Amino acid sequence: MELLDGKLVSEKIKLEIAEEAAQFLASTGRKPHLTAILVGNDGGSETYVASKMKNCEKVGFQSSLVRYDNTVTEAELLNKIREINADTGVDGLIVQLPLPKHIDPEKVTETIDYRKDVDGFHPINLGRMVRNLPCFIPATPYGILLMLQAYHIDTTGKHCVVVGRSNIVGTPMSILMARNANPGNCTVTLTHSKTRDLKEQVLQADIVIAAIGKKNFITADMVKPGAIIIDVGINRETSTQTKSGYKLYGDVDFEHVAPKASYITPVPGGVGLMTIVGLLKNTLASAKGEIY
Ligand code: GUN
């Protein structure tokens, strides 16, 4: 079993990004600029956005955080998005999800200018991704592709089983793994909460991508010996053993699955760190006008 080391790979790619950001600054006189909007005080969202902002600084990007409390109206939020769309000094704009119930996430996603949509959630980016055209690929799936690339894993012809069909991870991941590209060229099965024979499906997988949001959901009896295991889960539980007051668990029962796997991502230290890299790469590409 070999660990897919998100720390190692993400640090290496961030060095490359920092070099390119420095070149960009030297030639344009400005830094690539990511703006994030955070609504409310969700613990997970606070942590993720703080990490995105910190990593921007690390690689020499400008970062801006716009905060609203839970009571912000949808109209107010959409107006702020339009204002940032029009700001030529901003390359990338993300609105951290989830949003409070009174705000329609679809409206938010479609209001963001697709040319600044470095989350890759806008229907134009999604459609272009399906058609294998230049686009922003959602950060977590992008990070997973970069991880597979970093370890020179040939995915061609393999059976990839994706567990979970979210807009953010499962659905785009299933499309990317089936595309005529590398990584890609897999036979893909997209499974979800209504899948009848989930264990039998996952047992067929050469590559398992677990993005279901349930602690230790993928157990050793569901995994074929030698499978590649990608664990997207970030399940937070309060803990008295850690400084932060919580502990993270993946969607995979790492202790029992790892001995059967050929490659596996740990949690923490796996996909989560690669997600940030995906976002940074999209922001840099946007600044450089490489996609639109
Ligand atoms: N919430 C969970 N993952 C993401 C992400 O990749 N982007 C945004 N904006 N919100 C999220």
User: To 5 degrees, how large is the angle CA 288–CA 291–CA 292?
Assistant: 90
Q: Is 83 among the domain residues? A: yes
Q: Is 49 among the domain residues? A: yes
Catalytic residue among 31, 52, 158, 281: 52
Q: Indicate if 148 and 95 belong to the same structural domain.
A: no
Q: Is 123 among the domain residues? A: no
Residue 169 vs residues 2, 121, 139, 162, 272: alpha-carbon distances, Å? 24, 10, 9, 9, 12
96 in active site = yes
Residue 102 is predicted with a pLDDT of 98
Q: Indicate if 146 and 262 belong to the same structural domain.
A: yes
Low-confidence ranges of the chain (pLDDT < 50): none
Query: Ligand 1 centre and the CA of 96: distance in Å?
Result: 5
d(CA 97, CA 263): 30
Number of independent structural domains in the chain: 2
Q: Is 225 among the domain residues? A: yes
Q: Are 27 and 291 in contact (CB under 8 A)?
A: no
3-state secondary structure of 37: strand
Per-residue DSSP letter, 18: H
Q: Is 291 among the domain residues? A: no
Q: Kindly report the number of other CB atoms within 10 A of residue 64's CB atom.
A: 16
Determine whether the shortest distance from the Cβ of 94 to ligand 1 is under 6 A.
Answer: yes
Determine whether the shortest distance from the Cβ of 96 to ligand 1 is under 6 A.
Answer: yes
- Distance, CA of 128 to chain centre: 18
Catalytic residue among 96, 116, 251, 281: 96
Q: Indicate if 93 and 151 belong to the same structural domain.
A: no
Q: Is 147 among the domain residues? A: yes
Residue 209 is predicted with a pLDDT of 99
Q: Is 6 among the domain residues? A: no
CATH of residue 240:
3.40.50.720
52 in active site = yes
φ, ψ of residue 142 in degrees (nearest 5): -60, -45
Determine whether the shortest distance from the Cβ of 178 to ligand 1 is under 6 A.
Answer: no
Residue 120 is predicted with a pLDDT of 98
Q: Indicate if 169 and 93 belong to the same structural domain.
A: no
Q: Indicate if 145 and 269 belong to the same structural domain.
A: yes
Of 55, 281, 52, 58, the residue nearest 66 (C-alpha):
52
- Most informative mutation of 49, 84, 97, 112 for ligand 1 (most atoms within 8 A of CB): 97
Residue 10 is predicted with a pLDDT of 98
Residue 52 domain boundaries: 27-114
Residue 269 is predicted with a pLDDT of 98
pTM of the model: 0.98
Q: Indicate if 38 and 102 belong to the same structural domain.
A: yes
Q: Is 288 among the domain residues? A: no
Catalytic residue among 119, 231, 251, 253: 119
Q: Indicate if 240 and 167 belong to the same structural domain.
A: yes
